[in-house]
């Protein structure tokens, strides 16, 4: 009874607390510390209530449905958490709570720089609430409104440090791509509504669409959501926005905002279009191909990076690619009428979506702690930080090991399940050509290469800043991060361990989600696959081994006579920081071996690399500059003309919807 009551009221309380956090942040502009405590304190409460609502809905205790309005054609503007929505709300809220705890101390440095902490708290609460509601919305119009609020609030957070010269151009690029993607989504929802007669999500999956309309919906969804999650070649805003945004905002954007796009893709494919009941072959092939390209190129980009936040941004592209591999494989299996493998592949993609939210948020918060202490983003200017920041070092190491798929952490679990699904669909020794087997084999090779390169990339990302000797004056920090920053990271680190050790629990909770996505009885097959992972046994072995090593070291330290000598310095009398590997030197063997791949990527530009600049974005920019002067005739400055444009647009939309 208590859980049912909580499920019915928690989401309402969450909305109220986020609203209080946004408003209270602005009440005391001259008292930034109080504004910070109120804004982020209410954000913590709002996140915890949203987490409670999501978890209780996943446990099957129902969910609250909030109806804002009911319109004839538009349908019911409602918010609820059923199936997939509850899953995404749960981890968005958890990451939001941990990041809000971290932010209590982190934002103090912006007061010293002369920025308004109250404005930060207002935007932060709006951004976090919009992400939770966008995956809980059950109507297309409401979804688009919340999607726009999410885009605008995140834009103002990305450009929060507006005194920096490069911030405005980066913000413009981000906002431009966000709105182009939103336009594609608006067209997609109009196409869906034209077949269902309503903009309610519940009506979409009951409608019948012709193959042409279904493919158009698929392409619009892929472009609109792909631009938000940063799939290559729509990735250009990611490495630009993350270095400029505050690190706690980067954690939310990369950790959970990208996942709202994954939610959208999965909802459109498997719910609205009913992919699990049959689909086009090329849909799965395209998604799989984009996933392979993004995972490999994302990790290669990161190997060339020395800026710790840009490095992490490129790894977001890599992990979005891994998620797309799982989604693409699920679509291919659905086409091949292999529902059990399709369910496993989609579960692996959703599992990795959760895991990436946890370890990428942890890593961005860790990067924020490093920058907070050193005031430097170039890892070649760091070194030896583990000595001064031991807690941050341990927590960052857990995040690095998780993203590098080291067992028994969560990144290993979801990548292993992805491998299981891909390998299960390959038919060895087939006598005739099998496109599905070939595509899956290429995906296995791509995922294996990505996993290997990711290990090297995060040995660099952890080793260069934290180990060895200080490389510059920036590395001589006085103490570790404040307690609330450590606590926020610790919550995420514990979640990384728990999500890796108990995959069976998540599989059991996800079976109902897959069933709601038209997988039927095949959804139960994911539980044995998840329970077969030996992560709990690996953890026990590691703990036992660590205990034995600790006992041995303690016994060895009790000896009265021991000799301490200097580390051998390769023939030089004194070891110096100049003898250590640099970030470029560490990655050099890989960059030499893959010179053909990396040559087009080496020259970084405003759009990410010379390759994508010259082939895709430069022609678009040239076309824009050619068309823009001719469009000036429409900019009259008269309100009547603009109202006429709006009426004409709405008329055309209504005609399209009726037809």
**How far, in Å, CA of 89 to CA of 655, rounded?**
36
The verdict on residue 415 lying in a domain is: yes
Pick the residue with more confidence: 631 or 93?
A: 93
Helix H or strand E encompassing 444: helix 435-466
Per cent of the chain over pLDDT 70 is 83
pLDDT, position 491: 95
Same domain, 512 and 640: no
**How far, in Å, CA of 262 to CA of 249, rounded?**
19
Pick the residue with more confidence: 97 or 531?
A: 97
pLDDT, position 19: 92
pLDDT at residue 593 greater than cutoff 80: no
Same domain, 332 and 404: yes
**How far, in Å, CA of 430 to CA of 455, rounded?**
34
Interacting residues of 553 by C-beta distance below 8 A, sequence separation 6+: none
How much is the average pLDDT of 519-548?
79
How much is the average pLDDT of 390-409?
91
The verdict on residue 541 lying in a domain is: yes
The verdict on residue 390 lying in a domain is: yes
pLDDT, position 28: 79
The verdict on residue 196 lying in a domain is: no
Angle, CA 358 vertex, CA 355 and CA 359 arms, to 5°: 85
The region of weakest confidence among 133-142, 318-327, 588-597 is 588-597
The verdict on residue 291 lying in a domain is: yes
Q: 417: which 2 tokens?
A: 């399940």
| Model confidence band, residue 607 (pLDDT cutoffs 50, 70, 90) | very low
Same domain, 500 and 624: no
pLDDT, position 604: 47
Same domain, 501 and 626: no
**pLDDT digit string (tens) for 237-277?**
888 887 888 889 999 999 999 999 999 999 999 888 877 55
| Model confidence band, residue 606 (pLDDT cutoffs 50, 70, 90) | very low
Out of 508, 524, 555, a domain closes at 555
The verdict on residue 413 lying in a domain is: yes
Instruction: Give residue for tokens 């990369």.
Output: 254
**pLDDT digit string (tens) for 77-127?**
888 888 888 999 999 999 999 999 999 988 887 777 777 788 888 999 999
**How far, in Å, CA of 49 to CA of 7, rounded?**
9
Out of 555, 583, 599, a domain closes at 555
Out of 535, 555, 575, a domain closes at 555
Whole-model pTM: value is 0.88
**pLDDT digit string (tens) for 174-191?**
888 888 888 889 889 988
Pick the residue with more confidence: 346 or 599?
A: 346
pLDDT, position 225: 93
Same domain, 468 and 541: yes
| Model confidence band, residue 578 (pLDDT cutoffs 50, 70, 90) | low
pLDDT, position 306: 83
Same domain, 399 and 542: yes
pLDDT at residue 439 greater than cutoff 90: no
Same domain, 526 and 423: yes
The verdict on residue 619 lying in a domain is: yes
pLDDT, position 181: 87
Same domain, 404 and 540: yes
Q: Which domain holds residue 286?
A: 281-302+314-555
pLDDT at residue 55 greater than cutoff 70: yes
Same domain, 354 and 472: yes
Q: What one-character-per-residue DSSP string does 161-214 give?
A: STTSTTHHHHHHHHHHHHHHHHHHHHHHHHHHHHHHSS-BHHHHTTS---HHHH
The verdict on residue 435 lying in a domain is: yes
Same domain, 529 and 399: yes
Report which DSSP code applies to 224.
H
The total number of structural domains in the chain stands at 2
| Model confidence band, residue 302 (pLDDT cutoffs 50, 70, 90) | confident
pLDDT at residue 29 greater than cutoff 80: no
410-424 vs 339-374: helix axis angle to the nearest 10?
Answer: 150
How much is the average pLDDT of 277-282?
73
Same domain, 551 and 616: no
Q: What one-character-per-residue DSSP string does 260-282 give?
A: HHHHHHHIIIIIIS-GGG---HH
Question: Alpha helix (H) ranges present in 467-582?
Answer: 483-501, 503-514, 526-531, 535-557
Pick the residue with more confidence: 274 or 346?
A: 346
Mean pLDDT over all residues of the chain? 82
Instruction: Give residue for tokens 């009426």.
Output: 647
Same domain, 623 and 490: no
């Amino acid at each position: 009874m208590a859980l049912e009551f909580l499920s019915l009221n928690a989401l309402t309380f969450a909305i109220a607390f986020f609203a209080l956090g946004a408003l209270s942040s602005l009440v005391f502009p001259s008292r930034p510390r109080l504004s910070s405590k109120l804004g982020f304190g209410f954000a913590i409460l709002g996140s915890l209530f949203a987490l409670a609502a999501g978890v209780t809905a996943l446990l099957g205790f129902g969910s609250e449905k909030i109806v804002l309005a009911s319109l004839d054609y538009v349908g019911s503007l409602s918010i609820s958490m059923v199936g997939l929505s509850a899953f995404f709300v749960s981890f968005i809220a958890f990451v939001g709570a941990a990041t809000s705890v971290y932010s209590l101390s982190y934002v103090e440095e912006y007061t010293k720089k002369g920025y308004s902490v109250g404005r930060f708290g207002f935007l932060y609460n709006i951004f976090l609430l919009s992400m939770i509601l966008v995956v809980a919305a059950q109507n297309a119009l409401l979804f688009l409104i919340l999607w726009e609020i999410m885009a605008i609030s995140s834009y103002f957070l990305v450009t929060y440090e507006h005194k920096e010269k490069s911030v405005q151009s980066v913000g413009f690029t981000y906002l431009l791509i966000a709105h182009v993607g939103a336009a594609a989504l608006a067209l997609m929802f109009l196409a869906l509504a034209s077949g269902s007669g309503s903009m309610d999500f519940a009506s979409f999956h009951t409608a019948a669409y012709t193959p042409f309309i279904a493919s158009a919906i698929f392409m619009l969804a892929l472009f609109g959501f792909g631009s938000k999650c940063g799939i290559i070649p729509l990735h250009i805003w990611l490495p630009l926005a993350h270095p400029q945004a505050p690190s706690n905002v980067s954690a939310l954007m990369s950790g959970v905002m990208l996942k709202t796009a994954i939610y959208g893709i999965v909802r459109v494919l498997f719910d609205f279009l009913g992919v699990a009941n049959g689909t086009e072959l090329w849909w799965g092939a395209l998604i799989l191909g984009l996933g392979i390209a993004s995972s490999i190129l994302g990790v290669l980009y990161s190997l060339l990076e020395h800026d710790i936040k840009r490095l992490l941004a490129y790894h977001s592209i890599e992990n979005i690619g891994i998620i797309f591999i799982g989604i693409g494989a699920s679509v291919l299996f659905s086409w091949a009428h292999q529902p059990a493998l399709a369910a496993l592949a989609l579960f692996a993609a959703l599992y990795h979506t959760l895991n990436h939210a946890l370890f990428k948020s942890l890593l961005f918060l860790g990067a924020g702690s490093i920058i907070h202490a050193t005031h430097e983003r170039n890892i070649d200017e760091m070194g030896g930080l583990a000595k001064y920041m031991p807690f941050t070092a341990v927590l960052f190491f857990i995040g690095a090991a998780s993203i590098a798929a080291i067992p028994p952490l969560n990144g290993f679990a979801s990548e292993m399940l992805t491998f299981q699904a891909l390998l299960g669909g390959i038919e060895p020794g087939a006598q005739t050509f099998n496109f599905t087997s070939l595509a899956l084999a290429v995906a296995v090779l791509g995922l294996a290469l990505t996993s290997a390169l990711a290990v090297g990339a995060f040995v660099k990302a952890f080793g260069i800043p934290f180990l060895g000797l200080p490389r510059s004056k920036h590395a001589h920090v006085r103490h570790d991060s404040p307690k609330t920053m450590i606590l926020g990271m610790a919550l995420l680190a514990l979640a990384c361990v728990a999500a890796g050790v108990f995959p069976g629990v998540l599989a059991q909770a996800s079976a109902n989600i897959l069933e709601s996505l038209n997988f039927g009885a095949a959804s139960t097959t994911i539980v044995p696959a998840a329970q077969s992972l030996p992560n709990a046994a690996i953890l026990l072995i590691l703990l036992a081994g660590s205990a034995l090593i600790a006992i041995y070291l303690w016994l060895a330290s009790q000896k009265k006579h021991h000799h301490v000598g200097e580390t051998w310095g390769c023939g030089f009398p004194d070891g110096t920081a100049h003898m250590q590997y640099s970030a470029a030197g560490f990655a050099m063997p890989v960059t030499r071996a893959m010179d053909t791949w990396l040559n087009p990527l080496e020259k970084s530009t405003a759009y990410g690399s010379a390759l994508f600049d010259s082939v895709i974005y430069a022609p678009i920019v040239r076309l824009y500059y050619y068309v823009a002067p001719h469009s000036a005739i429409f900019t009259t400055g008269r309100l009547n003309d603009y109202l006429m444009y709006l009426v004409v647009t709405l008329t055309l939309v209504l005609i399209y919807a009726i037809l």
